[in-house]
Structure 1
């Protein structure tokens, strides 16, 4: 009996481990967003002085942003460990989220690094610290988050008949 329980636990971990990686990447985004919403300033330089000046009076917006990020980060872990309630809808939503995260994170990571390495030269110049923040921190985390979600979805794919 103990052996069966162990195998069940391992099987659950096998099914959800990529969603845990996604939760870690997304959770970092959630944590910094909440930190900034509470008035913290660390890493705020990665958003740029223009962004800070523009949104200084609207920092409340970070609370709903953090909520959406938290659902996107931790929802798939919960869904994968609870058998994907409403499987068609929830899995489709996670598929879409993974493509958005991969597209956004991948494109911005590539373009940001191309700018930093001088392969692309914006005509109006660019804010180097902001570009570093996006190319080396935030966008690679979005990319990791998306790839992890996609990998988890592929590894937990079932036949169409079992989703009915």
Structure 2
């Protein structure tokens, strides 16, 4: 009986063919990545305005900096928020044809996705090893360590995985025209 997943030939001579991913699925995947990035940007703006919720999960140094009300700290947080928003939405805008130089933005998005995954993964692994006692280091800020290990690292990693998934789903085959 022929395999329904092939054109009747053997598995060795007839590879599976996958249906192209729908534009709706691709759009949704980029939207998920953009929302995750936006959720990462919001606290930066909140902290720049003097808010302190979740800030101890970044580290006591961050709490101290916000409480001092230093203008340079405020500007750094605002710039960080803007950068995160750009990183969140540029991939989707480039995919939809809303930005010039789509190949540049796509390549940048690939680098960004891998960077987010590696950074988040490093936070999770290093923090986890310290929390489990595998790495014997003095921890002066356990709350900050927990925040990076259990919140910020996983969020960076999820954002990167979502973006990577969107980029993979939207890949064009050889000779395909750009959208």
Which structure 2 residues correspond to residues 83-102 of structure 1 after superposition, within 5 A?
85-102=100-117
Listed one character per residue, the Cα deviations across residues 76-110 of structure 1 (whole Å, up to 9, x for unaligned) are 22222337752321110100101111110111111
**Larger relative helix fraction:** 1
TM-score by length of 1: 0.84
Structure 1 residue corresponding to 2:134, chosen from 98, 112, 119: 119
SS of equivalent to 1:157: coil
CA distance in 2, matches of 1:48, 1:94: 28
Structure 2 residue corresponding to 1:16, chosen from 27, 36, 54: 27
Flag structure 2 segments of 5+ consecutive residues without an equivalent.
Answer: 1-20
Q: Which stretch shifts more, 78-87 or 64-73?
A: 78-87
SS of equivalent to 1:129: helix
Q: Which residue is equivalent to 1:5?
A: none
Post-superposition shift, 1:28? 1.2
Flag structure 1 segments of 5+ consecutive residues without an equivalent.
Answer: 1-9
Asked whether the 8 Å contact 2:94–2:100 carries over to 1, the reply is yes
Q: Which residue is equivalent to 1:71?
A: 86
- Confirm or deny that 1:139 pairs with 2:153: yes
Structure 2 residue corresponding to 1:39, chosen from 50, 56, 71: 50
TM-score by length of 2: 0.77
Asked whether the 8 Å contact 2:37–2:84 carries over to 1, the reply is yes
Q: Which residue is equivalent to 1:25?
A: 36
Asked whether the 8 Å contact 2:26–2:166 carries over to 1, the reply is yes
Q: Which stretch shifts more, 25-34 or 46-55?
A: 46-55
CA distance in 1, matches of 2:40, 2:63: 17
Post-superposition shift, 1:113? 1.6
Q: Which residue is equivalent to 1:148?
A: 162
When the two chains are superposed, the root-mean-square deviation of aligned CA atoms in Å is 2.2
Q: Which stretch shifts more, 81-90 or 70-79?
A: 81-90
SS of equivalent to 1:64: helix
Post-superposition shift, 1:54? 4.8
Q: Tell me which structure has the larger Cα radius of gyration.
A: 2
Post-superposition shift, 1:42? 0.4
